[in-house]
């Protein structure tokens, strides 16, 4: 009887959590900076840096398309004006603000949203950073 309970509980947990290691409970994917660099030229992939202009001046990821400061008053409207059929990769310094931005996008009807885990702090290859 206990064995059946454990098996049933295991099946429920597997079905509710899924098997995709890159998925999160929030619904967006997490990818490393190397994984983001590998997909940045794919069709319909748009990289959005959500850091402040001052942070961006220190360097940004190669292939970044848009710079929307998450702290600015027009951030939400800029995001809501985007094409919801594209894949968006959100980037910040550590992954916290980009995670918030990714959740905001999902909550507003965007289907494919990726958070760059660890943010710009995890970019090890200087060839992947543009220094303005």
pLDDT in tens, the chain (132 residues): 544 433 343 333 333 333 333 444 468 999 999 999 999 999 999 999 999 999 999 999 999 999 999 999 999 999 999 999 999 999 999 999 999 999 999 999 999 999 999 999 999 999 999 998
For residue 78, give the 3-state DSSP assignment: helix
What is residue 26's predicted lDDT score, i.e. its pLDDT?
66
**Is 9 within the bounds of a domain?**
no
Strands 129-130 and 60-61, sheet pairing:
antiparallel
Residue linked to tokens 């710079």:
67
How crowded is residue 81: how many other Cβ atoms within 10 Å of its Cβ? Answer: 8
**Is 11 within the bounds of a domain?**
no
Say what the pTM is. Answer: 0.80
- Structural domains in the chain (count): 1
Cα-based distances in Å from 63 to 11, 39, 53, 54, 121: 41, 10, 17, 19, 17
Please identify every residue annotated as catalytic.
Answer: 92
**Is 107 within the bounds of a domain?**
yes
Are the beta carbons of 57 and 129 closer than 8 angstroms? Answer: no
**Is 26 within the bounds of a domain?**
yes
Q: What is the dihedral of CA 101, 107, 108, 113, to 10 degrees?
A: 50
List the CATH number of the domain containing 112. Answer: 3.40.250.10
**Is 58 within the bounds of a domain?**
yes
**Is 60 within the bounds of a domain?**
yes
Q: What are phi and psi of 21, to 5 degrees?
A: -70, -20
**Is 71 within the bounds of a domain?**
yes
How many whole angstroms separate alpha carbon 21 and alpha carbon 114?
13
Range of the domain at 88: 21-130
Residue linked to tokens 């619904």:
27
What is residue 132's predicted lDDT score, i.e. its pLDDT?
87
**Is 10 within the bounds of a domain?**
no
């Amino acid at each position: 009887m206990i064995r059946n309970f454990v098996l049933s509980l295991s099946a429920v947990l597997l079905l509710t959590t899924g098997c995709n290691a890159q998925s999160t409970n929030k619904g967006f994917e997490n990818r490393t900076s190397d994984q983001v660099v590998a997909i940045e030229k794919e069709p319909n992939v748009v990289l959005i840096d959500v850091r402040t202009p001052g942070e961006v001046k220190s360097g940004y990821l190669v292939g970044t398309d848009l710079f929307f400061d998450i702290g600015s008053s027009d951030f939400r409207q800029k995001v809501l004006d985007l094409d919801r059929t594209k894949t968006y990769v959100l980037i910040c310094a550590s992954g916290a603000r980009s995670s918030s931005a990714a959740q905001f996008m999902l909550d507003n009807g965007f289907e494919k949203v990726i958070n760059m885990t660890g943010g710009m702090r995890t970019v090890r290859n200087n060839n992947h950073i543009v220094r303005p």
